[in-house]
Amino acid sequence: MKRISLTQYLVEEQRQHHSIPAELRLLIEVVGRACKTISHSVGKGALGEVLGALESENVQGEVQKKLDVISNEILLEANEWGGHLAAMASEEMEDIHPIPNRYPKGEYLLVFDPLDGSSNIDVNVSIGTIFSVLKAPEGMTEPTEKDFLQPGAKQVAAGYALYGPQTLLVLTTGNGVNCFTLDREMGSWVLTQRNMQIPAKTKEFAINASNQRHWHAPVQRYIGELLAGSTGPRGTDFNMRWIASMVADVHRILNRGGVFMYPADNKDPSKPGRLRLMYEANPMAFIVEQAGGMATDGKKRILDIQPEKLHQRVPVFLGSRDEVALVTSYHQEAV
């Protein structure tokens, strides 16, 4: 079988669908190269002295791992000089990162979670990088936070890298979802899965069950029905899978179906959800919808949410269409 590189795929997509201008193609390639560098650091582990936590906290109030900071720096440095971006925003930084004046400016905005699933770093469980690309507003001169606050439906590209037994890059530019595997010997991304599709039905779900006592009634109802198994109202035995790394959980769902949930709950009523809209929910919702799935906040489509701030949190229900539609209907009935 002919091996197709990431560059060849992007060029052919532009020829067929006119959806990937040269500047966007180069931006995606630079992000891909940065993810290769992060993969190398992750793979070194203790040998590279990159494990463990720092004494600092990020803007989310979370203790930063060494690899969080390293990955953030890799993405910033890789994307500053190319001329494709006007600014970047990272889950690890409070404010946006404008492109320094010494470099040319581009027409895109890059948003990323440099290392998703940080709690898994030191125990050698799969982690990843999530990214989203937006078009800078027309007439923008000096980028501000407001320029980033666009609904997820306006994303022009989104993807994630998964650092596991293989290093993978999953990408959408609005014309389906494709998966590339890093050929470590050649140092290149090779297309290994085309047009990934999430099965509409599933027997698997992913949720942090330790929060059960805090869940709202619609989630209690839905999970209760799943756990009742073949003798319950669903008449089917469901399995729970939870990796505590959104990238790894979503990748499993892309390949064999399932529903991923991180609902709002009563544990901390001041937080409307756990996951960040801009850095996690929007790019993953874009990917899931492009793969035939569904993504809501329990009441409405995630990609229709108008962001109000850069680090906004939202509840997330995404994956196989039938299950997401059902748990969403339970929330809508409870209003």
Cα atoms in the 13 Å half-sphere on the side-chain side of 27: 30
Q: Which residue has the tokens 């000089």?
A: 81
Cα–Cα distance measured from residue 253 to residue 317, given in angstroms and rounded to the nearest whole number = 12
Cα–Cα distance measured from residue 274 to residue 264, given in angstroms and rounded to the nearest whole number = 7
Residue pair 168/179 in contact (Cβ under 8 Å)? The answer is: yes
Does 113 appear as a known binding residue? Answer: yes
Does 225 appear as a known binding residue? Answer: no
Read off the amino acid at residue 321: R
Cα–Cα distance measured from residue 159 to residue 180, given in angstroms and rounded to the nearest whole number = 11
Residue pair 158/286 in contact (Cβ under 8 Å)? The answer is: yes
Does 118 appear as a known binding residue? Answer: yes
Does 159 appear as a known binding residue? Answer: no
Does 119 appear as a known binding residue? Answer: yes
Looking at residue 99, what DSSP letter applies?
A: P
Dihedral pair phi/psi, residue 124, rounded to 5°: 60, 40
Query: Taking the CA atoms of the chain, what radius of gyration do you get in angstroms?
Result: 19
Cα–Cα distance measured from residue 136 to residue 142, given in angstroms and rounded to the nearest whole number = 10
Cα–Cα distance measured from residue 264 to residue 284, given in angstroms and rounded to the nearest whole number = 18
Q: Cβ contacts of residue 205 below 8 Å, gap of 6+?
A: 223, 226, 238, 239, 240, 241, 258, 259, 260, 261, 323
Does 208 appear as a known binding residue? Answer: yes
Does 80 appear as a known binding residue? Answer: no
H or E element at residue 276: strand 275-276
Residue pair 155/134 in contact (Cβ under 8 Å)? The answer is: yes
Candidates 64, 108, 65, 70; CA nearest to 86 is: 108
SS3 199: coil
Q: Where is the binding site, in residues?
A: 91, 113, 115-119, 208, 280
Q: Where is the binding site for Mg(2+), in residues?
A: 91, 113, 115-116, 280
Q: Where is the binding site for substrate, in residues?
A: 116-119, 208
